[in-house]
């Protein structure tokens, strides 16, 4: 009985741990598609998408993960328009001429 209980707990943990967090109501469907692409094309085991408030808009940073040096993190608006990239070989910290450190973190939308 104890073995069955442990097996069920492990299975439940695996199912719950892989759940993609839902994007807030009002966000465009294109973000779901971009997240699915990021999931399929991930080079690292730990990519994620974070939501921020920046320059009066909701923006999303697509972090590729930690398996490679100098990988850039694309920044998209809610309509999936590219605003630029952070990090990368050049170590860019600006989007639309403003340092991204002024952005306010809202939540992690998705992580693998």
In order, the DSSP letters of 20-84 are PPPPPTT--THHHHHHHHHHHT-SSS--EEEEEEETTEEEEEEE--SSSTT-EEEEEETT--EEE
Q: What is the pLDDT of residue 75?
A: 98
Global pTM value:
0.75
Q: Is the pLDDT of residue 1 over 80?
A: no
Higher pLDDT, 90 or 50: 50
Q: Which of 35, 44, 2, 36 is nearest to 108 (CA)?
A: 35
Q: Is residue 94 within 8 Å of 87, Cβ to Cβ?
A: no
pLDDT at 14 over 90: no
Tokens of 86: 């952070």
The pLDDT of residue 28 is 66
């Amino acid at each position: 009985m104890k073995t069955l209980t442990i097996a069920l707990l492990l299975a439940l943990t695996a199912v719950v741990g892989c759940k993609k967090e839902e994007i807030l109501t009002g966000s465009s469907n294109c973000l779901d598609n971009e997240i699915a692409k990021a999931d399929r094309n991930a080079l690292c085991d730990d990519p994620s998408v974070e939501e921020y408030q920046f320059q009066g808009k909701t923006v999303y940073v697509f972090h590729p993960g930690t398996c490679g040096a100098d990988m850039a993190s694309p920044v998209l608006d809610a309509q999936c328009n590219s605003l630029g990239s952070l990090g990368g070989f050049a170590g860019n910290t600006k989007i639309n001429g403003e340092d991204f450190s002024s952005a306010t973190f809202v939540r992690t939308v998705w992580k693998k």
